[in-house]
Amino acid sequence: MYAPDRLAALAAVVDGGTFEAAARALHVTPSAVSQRVRALEQQVGQVVVTRAAPCRPTATGEVLLGLARQTALLAAETSERLGEAGGVRRVAVAVNADSLATWFRTVMAEVAGWEGVALELHVADQDRTTRLLREGRVLAAVTADAAPVQGCSSQPLGAMRYHPVAAPSLLDAARDPSGGLDWRRVPMVRFDEDDALQHDWLADRGHAPPDVVHRVPTTADLFAAIRCGLGWGMLLDHQLREARDLLRLAEEPVLVGLHWQRWRVDSPTLARLTDAVVAASAPGGRGASVAQRPSHETR
């Protein structure tokens, strides 16, 4: 058995990035945190966290970090069932930015009515959300990966719909003498370095990536960047309805498959959150921005 205080120390070090930050979070001294982490390392016979800035879990540490998250949640739920005070249930979830800006807000509204539950959101690209789950940093994730992480269950949520669009002035400036588009001269806007939607769309049509690629890492600001002509990019259904001034570059949308992955633990809180996520993402649901069929990747 792994002592809960040792597991909690590991989680606090990874979350805070330093032993000093972990000490502040746990209301103990840095020396006490160091002793607990060393004791955990002696127990498993391996280093569990790198002493760097920031501190990161090793492969062994990732396994124990997942256990730490699960142990903390189950302990809080047990305290609640026993009628004890102070049992805050912390649920760390990874979600992509576009889901957070649309249908996942219904999930947040649902959780707002749950007493004693603290939702801790990690925003990342779909590949990163899966890694966060695998590393034990989160208990559940909205991801494009259908294959379940070891120890997790996976269920489809449907797909988000993206439309390639551009401001008319942007395309006019990139036309060749024959009136065709030189895609190398059409600047692109993407969410971040992990956002491959635009590059994949061009590659599928035999076009090379453009010389100029802008990085705009928020959903709302990416929308504004496309509208003002900074570059072409992908918009969601509801954004397209708000931007009648933009030109669609293709009739068919790009479908981005979403899945919900969570650790397989007997947690009422995690089960309740799963129900809320599935309901919010369902077509016709209160948070619906998700269509029925998966396929591709996601921001």
DSSP assignments along 56-104, one per residue: EE-HHHHHHHHHHHHHHHHHHHHHHHTT-TT--EEEEEEE-HHHHTTTH
The pLDDT value given to residue 290: 61
C-beta separation of 14 from 55 below 8 A:
yes
Are the beta carbons of 139 and 92 closer than 8 angstroms?
A: yes
Alpha-helix runs per DSSP H in the chain = 4-16, 19-26, 30-44, 59-81, 97-100, 104-111, 126-134, 168-172, 197-204, 219-227, 237-242, 268-281
Structure tokens at 67: 């256990």
pLDDT at 40 over 60: yes
The answer to whether 165 and 233 have CB atoms below 8 angstroms apart is yes
- Alpha-carbon gap, residue 192 to 148, rounded angstroms: 25
Residue 175's pLDDT band, with cuts at 50, 70 and 90, is confident
- Distance of alpha carbon 37 from alpha carbon 55, whole angstroms: 12
Highest mean pLDDT among 67-81, 236-250, 268-282: 268-282
- Mean pLDDT to the nearest integer, 84-90: 77
Looking at the predicted structure, is the pLDDT value of residue 159 above 60? yes
Contacts of 159 by beta carbon, 8 Å cutoff, 6+ apart: 255, 256, 257, 258, 290, 291, 292, 293, 294, 295, 296
Mapped onto helix, strand or coil, the DSSP state of residue 249 is: coil
pLDDT of res. 299? 58
Tally of CB atoms within 10 A around 286: 13
Mean pLDDT over 13-36 rounds to 95
What per-residue confidence (pLDDT) applies to 177?
77
Half-sphere exposure of 100 (CA within 13 A, CB side): 20
Helix (H, G, I), strand (E, B) or coil at 191: coil
Residue 297's pLDDT is 40
Q: Which two tokens stand for residue 2?
A: 């792994």
Confidence of residue 127 (pLDDT cuts 50, 70, 90): low
Domains located in the chain, CATH noted: 4-157+257-291 (3.40.190.10), 160-255 (3.40.190.10)
- What is the pTM (predicted TM-score) of this model? 0.82
Q: Please name the helix (run of DSSP H) or strand (run of DSSP E) that holds residue 166, with its range, or none.
A: strand 152-166
